[in-house]
Amino acid sequence: MHRTSTIAIASTLLFAACGKSSSSPTSGSAAPPVGSAGSAAKLAGGAAAPTPPFSHPVLAKWTQAGLTVSAFSPDVSGKLGKDCNAGTVNGVDVVLCKFADAKAATAAEPAALTWIDQATGAALANGEWQLVVVDRNNADPSGRTINAVAKAFR
């Protein structure tokens, strides 16, 4: 069994035991994610309007938990989804993707685990959102950052 799969399963069990909070990352008045093709509005003369910064309630939760959160920018690679934004939390790579519904977000988890490959990481769906966190640079040898990122997302 891959180290990634073991960690993802252990993380899922840990979070299931802790229970879900009453707040959901889809609640609140966060702006929708950017990064989809054609998401920037066109200004007169054909220039693209500035894209607003990515906003999601979990970014504030990570900051409140004492984690260092970078700016998130559109992930146009298409490897994890069409509507994704990527950044770092305490030096660990994090990607948040929005899907059409909860079923699609959950169905995307195996592809995310394949993308994580042999690195330490996790892929979790919560509603129409999917979190993919991966520590390819060994910034989190104890796994505490990955655990805190995933816990706040749940």
In this predicted model, what pLDDT tens digit does every residue of 129-145 receive, in sequence order?
999 999 999 999 999 99
SS3 124: strand
Within-domain flag for 137: yes
Tokens, residue 98? 């929005």
Cα distance from N-terminal residue to C-terminal residue, the chain? 25
Distance of CA 60 to the CA centre of its chain: 13
Task: Give the pLDDT confidence score for residue 48 in this predicted structure.
Answer: 56
How many residues are there in the chain?
Answer: 154
Considering the domain boundaries, does residue 48 fall inside one?
no
Residue 47 maps to a domain: no
Write down the pLDDT at residue 14: 37
What does the block give as tokens for 90? 């305490």
Q: Which position has the higher pLDDT, 119 or 48?
A: 119
Higher pLDDT, 150 or 23: 150
Collapsing DSSP to helix, strand or coil, 72 comes out as coil
Residue 43 lies in a domain: no
Q: Is residue 65 part of a domain?
A: yes
For 22, phi and psi rounded to 5 degrees?
-75, -15
Overall average pLDDT of the 89-110 stretch: 97
Domain of residue 136, residue span: 3-18+55-153
Predicted local distance difference test score (pLDDT) of residue 55? 81
- Counted domains in the chain: 1
20-52 pLDDT tens trace: 333 333 333 333 333 333 333 344 555 555 556
Check residue 51 and give its pLDDT: 58
Alpha-carbon span 112 to 34, nearest angstrom: 20
Q: Which two tokens stand for residue 139?
A: 């910034």
In a domain, 38, yes or no: no
What is the per-residue pLDDT across 52-96, written as a single tens digit (0 to 9) for each?
Answer: 678 889 999 999 999 999 999 999 889 999 999 999 999 999 999
Query: What does pTM read for this prediction?
Result: 0.68
Q: Which residues, including other chains, have CB under 8 Å from residue 21's CB and lie 6 or more apart?
A: 154
Confidence grade of residue 4 (pLDDT, cut at 50, 70, 90): very low
pLDDT score, position 5: 41
CA 18 to chain CA centroid, Å, is: 20
pLDDT of residue 29: 32
Structural domain contains residue 107: yes
Give 32-62 as a DSSP string. PP--STT-SPBPGGGPBPPPPPP--HHHHHH
